[in-house]
Each structure stands twice: as structure tokens, then as C-alpha cells.
Amino acid sequence: MASSSSAPSAPKSLTFPPAPTRAKRFASMMYEGVLLFAVVFTAGYIFDTLTESRHALMFRGARQVSLFCAMGFYFLICWYRSGQTLPMKAWHIKLVRADGGRPRAWQLILRYIFCWPLPLLGAAFIQVLSVSTGWASFDMLIVATPFLIFIPTWFVSDGQFLHDRWARTALINVPKKDATLPT
């Protein structure tokens, strides 16, 4: 006896907009650095005021933790509200879940934490190289360490960051809105 109801169909595969190019993500990161200067300056000022620090090396560990948290707060709020920071909006990049939905709070926290290991390993390598050779000029390379997160993007077909894969999120291109005015 044949059943009149058909089996539930498998979900259709999602068609994602392509991932932003590395150049576009790099430009967004440069813009983000300008905004992060304000976040770090403000957080540092508040920290110094509350702790009555006389210089940046006082309470160094606590300062680093507070700056890490301040930057994390900035990113998490922006990503949670709209999936975009201001530079991401300017460059038409959006953060979504790997299945295309809005990222959950735990994914955003994991994404923020997972973006740190590669740059920190690079910074540690530069520090060891500088100390072991006695050549302080290696210290100038520290500015390149945030961009180590791009290395794994060359080895995957979709070009997503490693921390996005681990947090099950993805960066996508957002179509530009029509700039014409209604008549």
C-alpha cells in the first residue's frame, strides 16, 4: 500500500554570498584599528583613573586584562546587535552563523577568543627571535602579527578565517543598498 504523504524533503542547500576578499577584509581591519585606538585609549584612561596608575607598567597584567575585555565588549556588542562593526558596515561585510543565521552569543565569544592565538604566537616568536639574536629591530615586526590570521585562509576553499570555522561563523559580503533616491 503506497502512502500518499511523501517523506520530508531535505533542506535546500544555502547559497551564501561569496566571502569578502582578503583585500576587503584587510581594509576593514585597518579601519578597525583606527576605531580600536579610541576604545583602548578610553579603557586605558578609565583604568588609570580608577587605579591611580602613574605609568603604563603599573598593574600591567590587570591593564592587559581590562583592555582585552574592553575590546571584546566592543566587538561583542557590535556583532550581537547587527553582525557588523562600523568598518564592516563601511566595507559591506557581515558576520553570520555558518548556516546563514544570526550568530549566538556563545559563538561571538568563541570567535573573539579564537582570533587571538595566531597573533599571540607570532608575537611570542618575534620576542624570542629578538631576545635570542640581541637584534632589537625584530621588534618592529610585531605590527604584522595581527595579519597572521590570514595565513589559513589560503588553504581553504571558502577563504574563511580559522577562528570563524572554529566558532561556526562566517563573513559574507552584504549587497550595497541602492543609492538612487526615490522620485
- pLDDT tens-digit readout, 96-150: 999 989 999 999 999 999 999 999 999 999 888 888 888 777 777 888 888 999 9
pLDDT of residue 54: 85
Residue 9 lies inside a defined structural domain of this protein? no
Band of residue 57 on the pLDDT scale cut at 50, 70, 90: confident
3-state secondary structure of 142: helix
91 close to 24: Cβ distance less than 8 angstroms = yes
pLDDT of residue 39: 97
Considering only the C-alpha atoms of the chain, give the largest distance between any 2 of them, rounded to a whole number of Å.
85
Residue 77 lies inside a defined structural domain of this protein? yes
pLDDT of residue 15: 60
- Give every CB contact of residue 103 below 8 A, 6+ residues apart in sequence: 79, 80, 83, 95, 96, 97, 111, 167, 169
95 close to 85: Cβ distance less than 8 angstroms = no
pLDDT of residue 56: 78
183 close to 139: Cβ distance less than 8 angstroms = no
pLDDT of residue 180: 54
| 94 half-sphere exposure, CB direction, 13 A CA radius | 19
Grid coordinates of 94: 557581515
Look at residue 182 and tell me whether its pLDDT is greater than 90.
no
Residue 50 lies inside a defined structural domain of this protein? yes
pLDDT of residue 183: 47
Domain span holding position 91: 22-173
Residue 69 lies inside a defined structural domain of this protein? yes
pLDDT of residue 16: 65
pLDDT of residue 178: 53
pTM, whole model, 2 decimals? Answer: 0.82
The CA distance from 64 to 29, in Å, is: 21
The CA distance from 89 to 82, in Å, is: 9
Band of residue 12 on the pLDDT scale cut at 50, 70, 90: very low
Count of domains in the chain?
1
Residue 145 lies inside a defined structural domain of this protein? yes
| pLDDT tens-digit series, residues 69-82 | 999 999 999 999 99
Look at residue 10 and tell me whether its pLDDT is greater than 50.
no
Q: Percentage of the chain surpassing pLDDT 70? A: 88
Residue burial 14-36, b: 16+ Cβ < 10 Å; e: rest:
eeeeebbeeeebebbbebbeeeb
Average pLDDT over residues 149-171: 93
Residue 104 lies inside a defined structural domain of this protein? yes
Residue 5 lies inside a defined structural domain of this protein? no
Residue 98 lies inside a defined structural domain of this protein? yes
